[in-house]
Amino acid sequence: MKRILATLILLLAASASAVPLDTVKGGKLVSVSISRVETSVKERIVSFEVDLTSAMIKSVSNVPKGWYVAIDNDASWQTKVTGNALVGAAAVSPEELKQIRFVVERDESLSKFAVTGSVSVTENFEQTRHVQLRNSDFEVGSSPRHLLSAE
């Protein structure tokens, strides 16, 4: 009985001392989107890969219909998000891709925050072209806490 009571007291103390989600480990919540992709008029985007340094994904919104998204929130704060269209009709334009939003927790206590990645584009769904994305191809902005549905 004493062991159970001690455990409950520890749990209550831990939850009472918890800090808000957007300040955990000095972290900061931001919104990330792919804001610029160099494509021709006929090309459509069929997949993306986003690599984050000193960050982890908290949520993803506006995933297009017919897309599959996978998140690897590695414990080392090296995160990878991949997405691809399951059928050709689900391929998107750069403007549609820009609507996908990642709510990201940044933690630069060990290394500098960075975001890079790539997209695959196609005109005919027989051949794809790989486009590298740099930090400047992403929009990183403040992220309202209400985007996190768990709160």
Residue 126 has a pLDDT of: 92
Residue 143 has a pLDDT of: 59
Angle at alpha carbon of residue 70, lines to 64 and 73, rounded to 5°: 130
Could you give the CA distance from residue 140 to residue 115 in angstroms, rounded to a whole number? 9
DSSP per-residue codes, 45-96: EEEEEEEEESEEEEEEE-PPTTEEEEEEE-TTSEEEEEEEESSGGG-B-HHH
Confidence of residue 20 (pLDDT cuts 50, 70, 90): very low
Range with the poorest average pLDDT among 10-19, 58-67, 130-139: 10-19
Residue 48 has a pLDDT of: 98
Domain map (residue ranges) of the chain: 20-146
pLDDT tens, residue by residue, 97-118: 999 999 999 999 889 999 999 9
Confidence of residue 26 (pLDDT cuts 50, 70, 90): low
* 20-146: CATH, from 1.10.1060, 1.10.12, 2.60.40, 3.30.1240: 2.60.40
Do residues 106 and 27 make contact, with C-beta atoms less than 8 angstroms apart? Answer: yes
pTM over 0.85: no
| Beta carbons within 8 Å of 40's beta carbon, 6+ residues apart | 123
pLDDT tens, residue by residue, 46-75: 999 999 999 999 999 999 999 999 999 999
Q: Nearest 5°: phi and psi at 10?
A: -60, -40
Could you give the CA distance from residue 63 to residue 92 in angstroms, rounded to a whole number? 11
Residue 33 has a pLDDT of: 97
Mean pLDDT of the chain: 84
Confidence of residue 142 (pLDDT cuts 50, 70, 90): confident
Structure-token match 């206590």, residue found: 109
Tokens of 121: 């584009």
